[in-house]
Amino acid sequence: MKRDYLNKGIILVLIGICFILAAVFTESAIDGLLWGFAGGTLGPGIGRIIQYFYWSAPQNEERYREISEQKEINLHDELNEKLRDKSGRIAYLTGIYIICISVVVFSVLGEMGIITDHKVIVLYLFGLLVFQIIAGNAAYFQLKKSIDRKY
């Protein structure tokens, strides 16, 4: 296993410790967030360190090599690539539909007086919708341009 994996685990643990220290030595409204960030970085960091030592052990090296080769094959398999592309498109379109529906729902709830300050939410969702569409189109045209250069 690559040493970079261990380094990232150590960095995550150090960041988690910083969050714990910040949560312990400060009294603020974001203490809950700091504890959450601490757990969110310490857990994966410790997990990475344990995995590194487990898979780096001499008795596990051959099995790790086999698993890595299989992952590499699956990653570059044409069918899997097409399925990932298709699922990404479906997720992208679903996200756009959900944002459009959310804009309408929050507008109606705000006009009915159920939600206060609904305009901020609607403007945020509208900005997110515009960003999604622009980013999707920019990615498409960039990919198309790179393919056209190859042929």
Is residue 130 very low, low, confident or very high in pLDDT (cuts 50, 70, 90)?
Answer: very high
Number of domains in the chain: 2
Identify whether residues 53 and 103 lie together within a single domain. Answer: no
Tell whether 15 and 51 lie within a shared domain.
yes
55 in the same domain as 82: no
Pick the last residue of a domain from 38, 54, 75. 75
User: Over the stretch 115-128, which tens digit does the pLDDT of each residue have?
Assistant: 888 889 999 999 99
Within this chain, do residues 56 and 27 fall inside the same structural domain, yes or no? yes
Q: 38, 16 in Cβ contact below 8 A?
A: yes
Same-domain status, 60 and 82? no
What's the CA gap between 55 and 67, in Å, rounded? 11
Average pLDDT over residues 14-39: 94
The answer to whether residues 71 and 91 belong to one domain is no
Model confidence, pTM: 0.65
> Do 82 and 117 share a structural domain?
yes
Same domain, 121 and 132: yes
Nearest to 106 by CA among 96, 116, 97: 116
Residue 148 binned pLDDT confidence (cut-offs 50, 70, 90): confident
pLDDT tens-place string over residues 55-99 = 999 999 899 999 999 998 888 888 888 888 899 899 999 999 999
> Which residue, 49, 75, 101, sits at the end of a domain?
75
Domain that holds residue 126: 78-150
Residues 34 and 7 in one domain: yes
Residues 71, 78: Cα–Cα separation, whole Å: 14
